Structure 1
Amino acid sequence: MKNSTHEIGIMLMWALLLTLSSCGPSEEQLRHERQQAEQQRIEQEQAEQQRIEEEQAEQRRIEQEQAEQRQKIAYMSAINSVLQLDANTSNISDYTSRAAAMRNIEITQCPQDFAVAYLDHVHAWEDRAKIKSAQNELKEYGGLAAAAGLIATLTDSDSTPFSDYVEAENKLQALANEKIDEIHRTWQLVERTAVSYGATLPH
């Protein structure tokens, strides 16, 4: 009887041990849980990295917009300054002096398209000033040689384009009219470019 009881006790003990061992996670389960945890960690790190990158991209966008706004204001201020200084040259009656004053206006702080447009306008005035000087010389001294040289330069011609005073006078006036048209045309481009940058045209 005692032996039977003892055997029953041993069997119960083994049954309990088997039950306890079967209740714990297997190695495969543990490995799977570790993999899941690692995957979650990686996903969290990736999500955090993406969040940081998005924040950095947004910050760069804001900084870019601010830089562009500052540049726009700087351009507008520089253009307004050029327009005002140019308006002041309208009080200069001598064409050569007026063209020289326009040439001395600082345009390096302006946007390139405006600077090029204004420089073309200055060139038109400089040519007009040369023609005016030749007209004055022709009128006062009969300077056919000076007029011939200027006309040859402006028309890219080596030959003298006239044979007498009247012809020279007419040719110079025709060139003067062309330059007046060019002055108006280039100034219109200056104004359009200035307005595109938000500048205020002088009255």
Structure 2
Amino acid sequence: MSLVTLTDVSKSYRRTLALRPVSLELEPGELVALAGPSGSGKSTLLMITGGWETPDTGTVTPHPPLPDLPMAELQWDHVGFVPQSIGLFDELSITDNLAFPARAREDTADREKLLETLDLAKFAHRRPAQISRGEQQRAAVARALVTNPTLVLADEPTSHQDRAHAELVLIRLRAAADAGTTVLVASHDPLLTQHADRTITLAGA
């Protein structure tokens, strides 16, 4: 059974079409690449999948092992999100940013391992403003993965990375999928297709 089923979802903003009708099933433990030109609705589809935007048409249906709740009410251990805006807490260190979604869990070793695998260990006690944009982005990826969530939604997670660090990010997302997490990644990065199980290409709106 699929983890999430999207049926004929579409979205417009002020009469401007942002996403043409799309149907998609996300299976447990797969990494799906979401491709398409700028303006095709990749970010919008991620937001609809996560429950943070309501589609104008169609439905989003989660299935077990996701709880029987609206998607927008699911916690970090169910859905991890890597936004384009990165969204780290400026007042917290990188370690504390990772600890925030995992605050009820004893997984310090997991946090340290994530930082190491994403080449962030040396920045663990710095705040976001003290590291580069690429390092911030990798920290956002680590935060999305730290609770071993059921579903990860990532919006252009390699856009600020050089090729070597983009590979680190994609290898880590691939490892999460291999461990059972469903991963949906919107990206223009051609490297993504080398790690994805399949690619969904959206037509321009």
If the length of structure 2 is used for normalisation, what is the TM-score? Answer: 0.28
| Structure with greater proportional helix content | 1
Rg (Cα) greater in structure: 1
Higher relative contact order (CA 8 A, sep 6+): 2
If the length of structure 1 is used for normalisation, what is the TM-score? Answer: 0.28
